[in-house]
């Protein structure tokens, strides 16, 4: 038996994670992170979908903890979350990139600040509801592996974790299918068993990125939309309305489907083109983390994902200086978006990843 802190978001996955550890006889302490205050922007009584960490979700976490008979506390991380994750999200978008705040939240909050708070409470481990697995190999190295349920695997969001962080991490639902997790939640009588999965960026109410960004100081600077040859096709209300690969909401009529293929935030220009114009066989990435601590040898073969919902593709890895990496895909890949992460896999095992330039 050991003391474990479970990061409880109020969702079904972390609730079941807590339940499983409690059932194994561990001394489980539930901690929920209050990251932002949505109470003002959330009309009461409206159906919620795809949210986490709102005030209502924190209450769900509390009710689950009561049901499990474990202590539960809410820690206020609003300031740190705002200074690190939200401001990074805003800056990246304003720069025409497509950020993934979940990765920062995992690496900088859950497995950093929260883990250190847990350690101070005498709990050497932090458990979360991520669909991923952590294992120790024969050499004593921690391996980060995909979750067993391929449709739910969240290892992509955990690529920044270090050996030190992985040594404190437990993912109790990583070895389970989502359907099993929901079934367990029902068996345990947890009220969250049928709660919808979260998909959107949690702190952006209603998925309205543009309004959120404007509320956080991003100026709506109109500019031109042009095609690859430079011909102006229309105008836009600001580059923060767009991400690379976007097809909807361009406000253009065209005989062929047009996609955003490039964003130049400095010039306020958005470039659109046909689907083929989005294809790349090479990319570079920065601030790379190799889970094992050292990069693979040049030319190493692996698979890579360039976003969460991307089907992994065969790739050759070329580690560069200054914590950077180049990747060469066997087949062209669609919509390589700056700001997203490229994560490399050897089978089920996460080798590491970095931020696409």
Partner 1 sequence: MRIYFDHNATTPVHPDVAEVMVRVLREHYGNASSVHRLGQEAKAVLDEARTSVATLIGAEPSELVFTSGGTEADNLAIRGVAEALEPTGRRHLIATAIEHEAVLVTLKALARRGWRTTLLPVGLTGIVEPGALEDALTDDTAVVSVMHANNELGTVQPVAELARLAHARGALFHTDAVQSIGKLRVDARELGVDLLALSAHKFNGPKGAGALWIRRGTRLTPILTGGKHERTRRAGTENVPAIAGLGAAARLAMAKGAAEGERVAVLRDRLEEGILARVPGTVVNGAREPRVPNTTNISFERVEAESLLIALDLEGIAVSTGAACSSGTLEPSHVLRAMGLPTHRAQNSIRFSLGAGNTEEEVDYLLEKLPKAVDKLRSLTARRA
Least distance to partner 1, CB of residue 104, Å = 17
The DSSP call for residue 207 is G
Contact between 67 and partner 1 per CB under 8 A: no
Q: Which of 52, 53, 102, 202 is catalytic?
A: 202
> Min. distance of Cβ 332 from partner 1 in angstroms?
44
Give least dist CB 164 to partner 1, A: 11
- Starting at the earlier edge strand, list the strands of the sheet with 125-127: 72-76, 27-34, 3-7, 125-127, 169-170
Phi, psi of 233 (to 5 degrees): -105, -20
| Binding map of partner 1 across residues 116-145, x = CB under 8 A, - = no contact | xx-xxxx-----------------------
Least Å distance between CB 89 and partner 1?
22
Residue among 71, 61, 54 at smallest CA distance from 5: 71
Q: Considering the complex, state which of residue 29 and residue 176 has its C-beta at the smaller distance from partner 1.
A: 29
102 included as an active-site residue? no
Q: Which two tokens stand for residue 197?
A: 């999965």
Nearer to partner 1, 121 or 220 (CB): 121
Question: Among residues 12, 20, 29, 35, which is the contact residue for partner 1, using CB under 8 A?
Answer: 29
Local structure of 101: helix, strand or coil: helix
Residue number with CB closer to partner 1 (58 or 250): 58
Q: Tell me which of 4, 17, 21, 58 binds partner 1, using CB under 8 A.
A: 58
The first and second tokens of residue 329, run together, are 């895909």
Three-class DSSP category at 254? coil
Distance, in Å, from the CA atom of 314 to the CA atom of 165, rounded to the nearest integer, reads 28
Report strand pairing: 142-146 vs 132-136.
Answer: antiparallel
342: three-class secondary structure by DSSP: strand
Of the pair 37, 330, the CB lying nearest partner 1 is at 37
Stretch that binds partner 1, among 51-59, 136-144, 255-263, 304-312 (CB under 8 A): 51-59
Instruction: Enumerate the β-bridge partners of residue 75.
Output: 33
Size of the site for partner 1 (CB under 8 A): 17
Does the annotation mark 53 as catalytic?
no
Which position has the token pair 């190295």?
A: 141
The residue with tokens 């939309």 is 225
The catalytic residue positions are: 105, 202
Residues at the site binding partner 1, with contacts judged by CB under 8 A: 29, 34, 55, 58-59, 62, 71, 73-76, 116-117, 119-122
């Amino acid at each position: 038996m050991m003391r474990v802190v479970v990061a409880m978001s109020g969702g079904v996955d972390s609730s079941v994670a807590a339940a499983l550890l409690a059932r194994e006889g561990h001394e489980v302490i539930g901690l929920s992170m209050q990251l932002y205050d949505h109470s003002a922007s959330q009309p009461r009584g409206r159906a919620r979908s795809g949210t986490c960490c709102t005030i209502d979700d924190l209450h769900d976490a509390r009710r689950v903890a009561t049901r499990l008979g474990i202590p539960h506390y809410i820690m206020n991380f609003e300031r740190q979350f705002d200074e690190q994750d939200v401001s990074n999200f805003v800056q990246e978008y304003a720069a025409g990139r497509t950020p993934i705040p979940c990765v920062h939240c995992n690496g900088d909050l859950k497995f950093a600040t929260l883990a250190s708070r847990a350690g101070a409470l005498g709990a050497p481990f932090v458990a979360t509801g991520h669909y991923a697995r952590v294992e120790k190999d024969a050499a004593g190295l921690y391996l980060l592996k995909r979750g067993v349920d391929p449709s739910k695997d969240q290892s992509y969001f955990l690529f920044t974790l270090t050996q030190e962080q992985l040594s404190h991490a437990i993912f109790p639902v990583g070895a389970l299918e989502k359907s099993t997790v929901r079934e367990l939640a029902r068996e345990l009588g947890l009220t969250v068993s049928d709660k919808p999965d979260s998909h959107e960026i949690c702190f952006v109410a209603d998925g309205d990125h543009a309004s959120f960004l404007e509320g956080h100081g991003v100026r709506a600077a109109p500019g031109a939309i042009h095609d690859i040859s430079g011909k102006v096709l229309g105008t836009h209300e600001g580059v923060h309305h767009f991400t690379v690969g976007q097809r909807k909401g361009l406000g253009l009529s065209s005989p062929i489907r047009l996609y955003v293929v490039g964003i130049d935030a400095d010039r306020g220009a958005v470039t659109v083109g046909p689907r083929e114009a989005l294809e790349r066989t090479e990319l570079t990435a920065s601030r790379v983390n190799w889970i094992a601590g050292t990069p693979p040898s040049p030319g190493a073969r692996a698979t890579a994902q360039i976003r969460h919902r991307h089907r992994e593709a065969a790739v050759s890895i070329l580690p560069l200086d200054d914590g950077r990496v180049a990747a060469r895909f066997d087949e062209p890949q669609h919509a390589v978006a700056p700001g997203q992460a490229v994560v490399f896999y050897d089978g089920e095992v996460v080798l590491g990843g970095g931020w696409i330039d």
